[in-house]
Structure 1
Amino acid sequence: MTLSFAPASDPSLPLHVLEQSDFESWLTDQPDHIRAWVAADGFSGALGQTLLVPGTDGNPQFVMAGYGSAAKRVRKRFPLAAAAESLPKGTYHIASGVPADVLEAECLGWLMTGYAFDRYAAQSPANATLIAPEGVDARRIEIMANAEALTRDLVNTPASDMGPVQLQHAVEALAREHGADISVITGDALLEQNFPMIHAVGRAAEQAPRLIEMNWGDQGPKLTLVGKGVCFDTGGLNLKPGASMGLMKKDMGGAANVLGLARMIMALDLKVQLRVLIPAVENAVAGNAFRPGDILTARNGLTVEINNTDAEGRLVLADALALAHEGAPNLLISMATLTGAARVALGADLAPFYTDDDKAADVLARAGRAAADPVWRMPFHDPYEAMIEPGIANLDNAPSGGFAGSITAALFLRRFAAESRYMHFDIYSWQRSKEPGRSKGGLGQGPRALLGALPEILGL
């Protein structure tokens, strides 16, 4: 599926987007036959309402789309998509009513109404197409929409068809699309090349653990992205209850989001030296599974006491972050569906991120608002460092007590990023119920905000 605007040459109907508070004054200026038609329908400008208005000859003349009130719109990521999803099949162009400062985001939301995950059953996405308005970067919007579709597809695919092998194939396909280089370290070769924690987490699974690396670009600052690729998480020997396993196909959401961001960076030809690292594993149960009480030695030499095998994501990320740091990146970013504590703190809709860089945090927050991809800064709170130091080893992978779970996980990861300029995202990557432009299921969180922020953060 390719999400795209309609050609500008296509015949199209004008779409007038009407703020609810302005609707009556707008209607007063219309001819009698339009006022009568609107009155008969009961259109009021409420968010998501649409009305096809005929001309005096009976042919369609234009379409009205309700834009609701400002108070209603702030509750929706893509307000115009609510109308787009209810329009009849056809091609439209925006004639009036969408503020310039949200036009790009609303166009992105419109394109996303065409997304459907139809690998296993036919779906019915919205089929109203839009001609790109003047003044927007149509190509950039299409690239963002299709990168989001990639992320959603990867997260939505069940572990039966998205294990470490299939995740590797997805990275290989993306590399071919953009002329990137790829390498993979698999199975016992992880031990030979000093990735012991990736190996420990994934060694009990049928599909061997692996570290997937993709490199692209030879100009500009070094940008390294690390994505958690736990394709299914049983919890290991600290076995999750059945209800808690229901969404664990999405535990590779960090990898899916990193690949969505990488796709945008490469398609837009940003002048960066891009490196993508994905530790891809399944956290399974078998006789050779790693155990509570084990002490593992990470790539960088730090020892880690395993107090919960369900805190496995930070282990595989740790080895990958240590490798990333060795490459001296100008910016290192990790993305992971890492902790339930982040959901307790911020819910499902906000993407928490951590950084010690105040300026970059401000830039990222602004970019997230502009891209309808909201993010929220959480603290690397140094006094909590003692909570991840068990005494018997350098680090504890699951401090007891349950307090500050997202923060302690981020502090754990920072030990492996070392002195690198570092950002970490603790995302959910799932839409729990359908919203305009956001189908139920896999979801991108953070990539569009990062895309908008990278030029200023890296001086591109």
Structure 2
Amino acid sequence: MSDYADLLKADTGQPAHDIHIVDADSYEGWLAAQPERVRTALAAQRYRAKPYAHAILPGEKAEDWAAVTTVANAASLSSWCLAKLAEVLPAGTYRLADGGDIGPAGLGWLTAHYRFDRYRSAPEDAAIGPRVLLTGDVARIEQTVRLAGAVHLVRDLVNTPTADMGPPDLEKAAEAVARRHDATFTVTRGDALEQGYPMIHAVGRAAHRDYAPRLIELTWGHADHPRIALIGKGVCFDSGGLDIKPSSAMRLMKKDMGGAAHALALAELVMASALPVRLHLLIPAVENAISGNAFRPGDVLASRKGLHVEIGNTDAEGRLVLGDALTRAGEEKPELILDFATLTGAARVALGPDLPALFANDDDLARRLVELGRKADDPVWQLPLWTGYADMLKSDIADVANAGEGGFAGAITAALFLQKFVGEGALWAHFDTFAWRPSAKPGRPKGGEALGLRAAFALLQERYPRP
């Protein structure tokens, strides 16, 4: 992982290149106040006050050059305002020219340095060197670095191919997080799941024995603190099972453990920030493979909760493993449960790749997550737990079906299925996230992405402030 702490530092007056921030309204006034050499340089570079536009400005001496960039609102920086500069500027140290606070823009500066180069013989930008940003808001540095590290963790886990990020590898990643924070770590694997977690076992039993299914659990915090549960779908590869996916749909299924990546990164944020909670992290880690003992369409599976589930589609497997994990979480009587899953294509059709679909059994909880996500430049969008669609999950022979027929309201019916396994009395929110960015944006490269992570953490910080 990049040492982001070396890229965001306290401004103590050390030498640095200035960054001028302008927007469409302020640019002409700012330009008029610049010396002739700056106006000439901007004209030569054909600079226009458009989003993410940037230019290099000459100083009185060769080493005194500066930069200018256009943002949407110079008075209120977003997380991504400075991200493009962090990608294109030469190595060096920088500060805002007016001495102002960088605010949330430090996050984009850091995440712009992310590279996934595990499989490259010559890492990208290796010879360029770091770009350091100075800030006077010293109190914000530590948390910004933590957030960037959490985003980095999600991206790395999702970007790694299944051959190197199968269930045992995901277990090792979770164990490493547990060790860093002296958390209790337990794993239930293979046939030991069959009695206690029959749906997790059924989904994962067709995989090679080296990729045996497992339920990963981490607990941390004082027993007297409020209990919360974080759950992440850890389907390390999804072939679709016997309802096999077409090759085009299978290509990105290394990312089907993106929910687990989010839950693990959020758990690390909670522990690193020492929030006063009793944390329970659960990751059902499986590969939905095909072999002679794969579960079949038409099978009826038992569940930890005691409900019997008729399988209408083996490609609707994520909700099955989450069902057993939700039941286990509810046994500890948490007051809040958050789950993350790359659960449905229907959510992507409805909201596209950038907006996780949010479901919650409490409207105030949902509203607050939406508000905090907007403030954190990490938007989520609430969809309804519309009980009128519950009939779509009816089974002729079992308590419930895992998938409805006809394809209507797929994200909603998936959430309604999960709700059946949420313990009584717990507030619950479900993030149906894509965990992937199909095209690059400043500070956000193509590939694995944390979507909804910072919104959820903002909620936890608000509900459980440090004393």
| Structure 1 segment 351-370 matched on structure 2, within 5 A | 351-370=356-375
Contact kept in structure 2, 1:104 and 1:136, CA below 8 Å: no
Confirm whether residue 58 of structure 1 aligns to residue 62 of structure 2.
yes
Confirm whether residue 403 of structure 1 aligns to residue 408 of structure 2.
yes
CA shift for structure 1 position 46 = 2.5
Contact kept in structure 2, 1:48 and 1:82, CA below 8 Å: yes
Which residue of structure 1 aligns with residue 176 of structure 2?
Answer: 173
CA shift for structure 1 position 113 = 0.5
CA shift for structure 1 position 365 = 1.1
Instruction: Give deviations 1:186-230, integer Å, cap 9, x for gaps.
Output: 0111124x1001000000101110000001111521110110000
Amino acid in structure 2 at the alignment position of 1:401: G
Secondary structure of residue in 2 paired with 1:137: helix
CA shift for structure 1 position 32 = 2.8
Secondary structure of residue in 1 paired with 2:242: coil
Which residue of structure 1 aligns with residue 284 of structure 2?
Answer: 279
| Structure 1 segment 124-273 matched on structure 2, within 5 A | 124=125, 127-134=130-137, 137-192=140-195, 194-206=196-208, 207-218=211-222, 219-273=224-278
Instruction: Give deviations 1:216-259, integer Å, cap 9, x for gaps.
Output: 11152111011000000000011111111000000000000001
CA shift for structure 1 position 38 = 2.7
CA shift for structure 1 position 97 = 9.2
Confirm whether residue 2 of structure 1 aligns to residue 6 of structure 2.
no
CA shift for structure 1 position 58 = 3.0
Which residue of structure 2 aligns with residue 379 of structure 1?
Answer: 384
CA distance in 1, matches of 2:24, 2:268: 38
CA distance in 1, matches of 2:310, 2:92: 60
Instruction: Give deviations 1:327-374, integer Å, cap 9, x for gaps.
Output: 100101111000000001111100111112122112111110111110
CA distance in 2, matches of 1:355, 1:232: 27
- Relative to 1, partners in 2 of residues 1:257 and 1:34: Cα closer, same or farther, differing over 3 Å? same
Contact kept in structure 2, 1:49 and 1:65, CA below 8 Å: yes
CA shift for structure 1 position 109 = 0.7
363-372 or 396-405: bigger deviation: 363-372
| Structure 1 segment 73-92 matched on structure 2, within 5 A | 78-92=80-94
Amino acid in structure 2 at the alignment position of 1:171: A
Contact kept in structure 2, 1:50 and 1:86, CA below 8 Å: no
CA distance in 1, matches of 2:396, 2:136: 61
Which residue of structure 1 aligns with residue 31 of structure 2?
Answer: 27
Amino acid in structure 2 at the alignment position of 1:452: A
- Relative to 1, partners in 2 of residues 1:430 and 1:212: Cα closer, same or farther, differing over 3 Å? same
| Structure 1 segment 101-116 matched on structure 2, within 5 A | 103-116=102-115
Contact kept in structure 1, 2:154 and 2:448, CA below 8 Å: yes
CA shift for structure 1 position 69 = 7.0
**Is there any run of 5+ residues in structure 1 with no aligned partner, and where?**
none
Which residue of structure 1 aligns with residue 116 of structure 2?
Answer: 117
CA shift for structure 1 position 67 = 2.2
Which residue of structure 1 aligns with residue 331 of structure 2?
Answer: 326
Which residue of structure 1 aligns with residue 451 of structure 2?
Answer: 445
TM-score normalized by the length of structure 2: 0.93
Secondary structure of residue in 2 paired with 1:329: coil
CA distance in 1, matches of 2:235, 2:447: 17
Contact kept in structure 2, 1:360 and 1:457, CA below 8 Å: no
CA distance in 2, matches of 1:273, 1:80: 37
Amino acid in structure 1 at the alignment position of 2:380: V
Instruction: Give deviations 1:413-457, integer Å, cap 9, x for gaps.
Output: 000013222111111000001110101100011110011112344
Contact kept in structure 1, 2:275 and 2:464, CA below 8 Å: no
Aligned residues, how many? 453
**Is there any run of 5+ residues in structure 2 with no aligned partner, and where?**
none
Contact kept in structure 2, 1:47 and 1:83, CA below 8 Å: no
CA distance in 1, matches of 2:139, 2:374: 17
Which residue of structure 2 aligns with residue 45 of structure 1?
Answer: 49
Which residue of structure 1 aligns with residue 299 of structure 2?
Answer: 294
Secondary structure of residue in 1 paired with 2:325: helix
Secondary structure of residue in 1 paired with 2:187: strand
Contact kept in structure 1, 2:302 and 2:308, CA below 8 Å: yes
CA distance in 2, matches of 1:423, 1:265: 17
Amino acid in structure 2 at the alignment position of 1:289: A
- Relative to 1, partners in 2 of residues 1:109 and 1:136: Cα closer, same or farther, differing over 3 Å? farther
CA shift for structure 1 position 393 = 0.5
Instruction: Give deviations 1:123-176, integer Å, cap 9, x for gaps.
Output: 238842211342661100000000110010000000000000000000000111
Amino acid in structure 1 at the alignment position of 2:82: L
Amino acid in structure 2 at the alignment position of 1:205: A
Contact kept in structure 1, 2:276 and 2:464, CA below 8 Å: no
CA shift for structure 1 position 260 = 1.0
Q: Identity of counterpart residues, as a percentage?
A: 47
83-92 or 59-68: bigger deviation: 59-68
Which residue of structure 1 aligns with residue 315 of structure 2?
Answer: 310
- Relative to 1, partners in 2 of residues 1:68 and 1:7: Cα closer, same or farther, differing over 3 Å? closer
